Amino acid sequence: MYFIDTHTHLYAEEFAGDIITVVQRAIENGVNKLMLPDIDSTTRNEMLNLSDKFPDVCLPMLGLHPTSVKENFKAELNLLNEEIGKNKYYGIGETGIDLYWDKTYYREQIESFTFQIEMALKYKLPIVIHSRKSLNEILSILKPYKNSGLSGIFHCFPGNLQEAEKVIEMGFFLGIGGVVTYKKASMAEVVKHFGLEHIVLETDSPYLSPAPYRGKRNESSFIRIISEFIAELLNTTIEKVADTTTVNARKIFRF
């Protein structure tokens, strides 16, 4: 079986002591591509260093995370323009809007998100969207871009069936991770309704570990646990989950 973790922050400090073992464990569990979403300039070097160590496995993206949008956000956006030609990047992100922690820079988050949407279109790259407590706002921003060729993933999709329908109609995929295994998770209802055709797998490591590891450090090898849960949820095989979600991820990231 061949899995792709479409969203994993393996360059985070939580993995500083055993990152080689963590990557090897992912590969041993069939997770052979690890997509690394960017956060900001303070962690970009760590991300690129990891991709240099595992160039065929750890594939970086370029972006500015919404919670990193502060007073200096325009300088950070300028760095994205400078950086895009220096390395091979497989997507734009993680970008979007986050209204859970702090609404202080809401307008700046919108400007940053729009900038990165245009960047994704310019360079013909998929975009990975963070939409915590901001799904309706993001759908409103994306509305003018329908049929523009913009595509990508709604990371850790937080919405209900109706919102999932809107996202799918816009040509995006739903990022499904450990949250799907939690009791009363709306994500499980979304997967059960829409099936495998519109989803990709992700961990968001080191965060959001699947049950029974909830509250502990997440890692990319746990994709197998997520897949087993989805297979049971849909009354299908883990091989089918692996095959379909891998095809979806390859379509998105064009490799």
Q: What is the CATH number of the domain that holds 201?
A: 3.20.20.140
Residue 228 burial (C-beta neighbours within 10 Å; 0-12, 13-18, 19+) = middle
Residue in this structure with the two tokens 């919670």, named with its chain if needed: 67
From CA 95, how far away is CA 231, in angstroms rounded?
30
Strands 92-96 and 58-60: what pairing?
Answer: unpaired
Average pLDDT, the chain: 97
9: how many CB neighbours lie within 10 A of its CB?
Answer: 24
Strands 199-201 and 152-154: what pairing?
Answer: unpaired
Say what the pLDDT of residue 170 is: 95
143: how many CB neighbours lie within 10 A of its CB?
Answer: 10
Q: The tokens of 177 are what?
A: 């991770």
Answer for the pair 100, 132: CB distance below 8 angstroms, yes or no: yes
Using CA atoms, how far residue 232 sits from 36, 96, 145, 156, 226, in Å, is 28, 32, 36, 20, 10
From CA 64, how far away is CA 83, in angstroms rounded?
12
Answer for the pair 32, 225: CB distance below 8 angstroms, yes or no: no
> Which residues span the domain enclosing 223?
3-253
Q: Note the pTM of the prediction, 2 decimals.
A: 0.97
Task: List per-residue pLDDT tens for the chain, 255 residues long.
Answer: 999 999 999 999 999 999 999 999 999 999 999 999 999 999 999 999 999 999 999 999 999 999 999 999 999 999 999 999 999 999 999 999 999 988 999 999 999 999 999 999 999 999 999 999 999 999 999 999 999 999 999 999 999 999 999 999 999 999 999 999 999 899 999 999 999 999 999 999 999 999 999 999 999 999 999 999 999 999 999 999 999 999 999 999 998
User: 232 CB contacts (<8 Å, ≥6 apart)?
Assistant: none
Give the chain's domain count: 1
The string of pLDDT tens digits covering residues 149-185 is: 999 999 999 999 999 999 999 999 999 999 999 998 9
Say what the pLDDT of residue 101 is: 84
